Amino acid sequence: MSAIKSMKLYTHVERIYRELGELGKTVDDRLSVDDLTPFDQLHYHGTQALDVAMAMIGIEGQPRWLEIGSGLGGPARYLAAYGDVHMTALELQPDQHEVARSLTARCGLDDRVEHVCGDFLEFERAAGSFDAIVSWLALYHIPERPRLLDKCFSLLRPGGCFYTEDLIARGEITPTQNRQLQQELYAITLRRIDQYQQDLEDAGFAVELCRNMSSDWAEFVRVRLAAYRADRARHLRVHGAAAVNAMTEFYTAVNRHFQSGKLGGLRLCARKPEAGA
């Protein structure tokens, strides 16, 4: 099993099919993006977060977007459908990628969302291929931050936008906590908010917004865990004990790390300067 599967959110990918089954959808039924959004958004505040991104980046005349770490394809399908952009959805894990591809086809969006399976650090496209690069809760999984940001810079056209919501460190993380964060959240690169912004500037970006989301997300994950526990009987009926125990473990770990005050999050929007600027 690959190391990233130590994060329990990524086991039991069939959960989404069980939820669709609850809606009476069989495996061949056509789907709408809205059928899926309650289940396919693996970040905080679901599609509201995507609406914020579209408003901030702007969609007019900027059709080529890359999402790094696209998961089950939820953000990419929503952005393609409601933002009318062409998405390249890059996902590391083959099982997530396959589910994403099949759901996108069932939504009739395969001409607007290109699914690619692979590691962003090995991803190859011509320089300037994208108008925007976006990512929700994925970059903290990836090592080699300078290499990652240099690639983003090169893949964007001049004037293009880099937008992310990502996890960050707050204060000193102890070695024990660090081991737990690696195991439970597959946290490979956790930067403090000031370091995160500096990393972007060192790569040549002009940072337009860097918002600390830590308190908001701490409350979000607290409420999410309480709601999941309160609905345990329903979840057991739909998903079975193994999947429910895995999700409970994951939500509990995320909540514990946020409430410890050592884990937080940010929303960041940065631009590659126009040529000659």
Ligand X SMILES: C[S@@+](CC[C@H](N)C(=O)[O-])C[C@H]1O[C@@H](n2cnc3c(N)ncnc32)[C@H](O)[C@@H]1O
Cβ atoms of 128 and 158 within 8 Å: the answer is yes
**Environment class of residue 260 by beta-carbon count within 10 Å: exposed (0-12), middle (13-18) or buried (19+)?**
middle
70 lines the binding site for ligand X (CB under 6 A)? yes
Distance CA 146, CA 252 (A): 32
Q: Which one among 16, 35, 69, 81 touches ligand X, defined by CB under 6 A?
A: 69
71 lines the binding site for ligand X (CB under 6 A)? yes
113 lines the binding site for ligand X (CB under 6 A)? no
Cβ atoms of 124 and 57 within 8 Å: the answer is no
- Quote the least distance from Cβ 93 to ligand X, whole Å: 4
137 lines the binding site for ligand X (CB under 6 A)? yes
Q: Name the residue nearer to ligand X (CB basis): 43 or 239.
A: 43
- Quote the least distance from Cβ 103 to ligand X, whole Å: 12
For the record, the structure tokens of 6 come out as: 């130590």
- Quote the least distance from Cβ 42 to ligand X, whole Å: 3
Q: Which one among 120, 153, 217, 250 touches ligand X, defined by CB under 6 A?
A: 120
Per-residue DSSP letters for 128-147?
Answer: T-EEEEEEES-GGG-S-HHH
Q: Which one among 31, 90, 155, 244 touches ligand X, defined by CB under 6 A?
A: 90
- Quote the least distance from Cβ 89 to ligand X, whole Å: 9
Distance CA 146, CA 191 (A): 12
Distance CA 254, CA 171 (A): 17
Binding region for ligand X (CB under 6 A): 4, 41-43, 68-71, 74-75, 90-93, 96, 119-121, 136-138, 141-142
